[in-house]
Amino acid sequence: MLTRTCLLRKGAAGALLAGLGVALAHYAPPLPESVIAKPARQFGLPFAGAPGPDTWLLGQGYGNTTGAYRQRRSTYGNLQGLHAGLDFSAPCGTPVRAIGDGVVAEVDGPHGSPPHNVVIDHAGNLSSLYGHLLKRASVRPGQRVTRGQVIAESGDSQLTCISAPHLHLEIRDRSHQRLFNPVPYIAADWESLALAGSFGRGYEYDLSAPRKWQTPETQPEVRRGGPLLNDFARPWPPAPGGAR
Ligand SMILES: [Zn+2]
């Protein structure tokens, strides 16, 4: 029994080291503020056509969401406890479009949001990541793409296409260490979109500062590996089981 436990531990440690190796191999220091393009609504939406119950809707917002709060020490522990992208709910197979002109940097690379993802590098040292894709994207690294070009098909983070079908979209600096709120970068009628989706109504409160990080526009930047931003003294809704 003891041997088996040790073997299991060894396996886990091996996997951890292998994971760390991948992470270190791809580590680049965060880029300074001065070389990163400021948000100026320079990008478009990743889906074409009008939102609606049969097409696409906004699901989870970026930032201090209640969902991220509940998983702040697990899924989002390395992202300061925040949801570092926007979730667009859509049936599996919905065509995903490049949000701006750029060059495909990675297809199924190491930067998260499985089972399949794409990263596009844009001007201003920005990168966009499209995650939970249905299958390996048809574009190739090094390929130039234009805004609105179909690059992939949306999928489901739980791989069923009936439980959580959505696209996870992130805007990062090119080092992948800084993750930005996509809302001010993307030209869209966010207020109308928020009326149709659950977007913007699911932020965790700190009752000590109840207006902090409660709107789509006012969410903080995430630094990969930084300290938790939402370890609130008086969280609402409370953490399951009353644990903080
Ligand atoms: Zn997401």
Helix or strand run (H / E) with residue 8: helix 2-25
Instruction: Return the structure tokens found at 133.
Output: 């894709």
Alpha helices in the chain (DSSP H): 2-25, 66-70, 190-196
CA–CA distance, 121 with 127 (Å, rounded to integer): 4
Q: Which residue in this structure is represented by tokens 């109504």?
A: 201
Helix or strand run (H / E) with residue 104: strand 102-107
What residues are neighbours of ligand 1 (ion), with CB under 5 Å? 85, 87, 168
Give me the tens of pLDDT residue by residue for the chain, a chain 244 residues long. Answer: 333 333 334 444 444 444 454 555 568 899 999 999 999 999 999 999 999 989 999 999 999 999 999 999 999 999 999 999 999 999 999 999 999 999 999 999 999 999 999 999 999 999 999 999 999 999 999 999 999 999 999 999 999 999 999 999 999 999 999 999 999 999 999 888 877 766 656 899 999 999 999 988 999 999 999 999 999 999 999 877 655 5
CA–CA distance, 186 with 81 (Å, rounded to integer): 23
| Ligand 1 centroid distance, CA of 10 (Å) | 32
Parallel, antiparallel, or unpaired for β 178-180 and 95-97?
unpaired
| Ligand 1 centroid distance, CA of 166 (Å) | 8
Q: What are phi and psi of 33, to 5 degrees?
A: -50, -40
| Ligand 1 centroid distance, CA of 145 (Å) | 23
CA–CA distance, 92 with 81 (Å, rounded to integer): 27
| Ligand 1 centroid distance, CA of 88 (Å) | 8
| Ligand 1 centroid distance, CA of 83 (Å) | 6
| Ligand 1 centroid distance, CA of 87 (Å) | 5
| Ligand 1 centroid distance, CA of 133 (Å) | 12
Please say whether the dihedral angle defined by the alpha carbons of residues 94, 37, 110 and 177, taken in this order, is positive or negative. Answer: negative
Q: Mind listing the domains of the chain with CATH numbers?
A: 43-202 (2.70.70.10)
Predicted confidence at residue 199, as pLDDT, reads 61
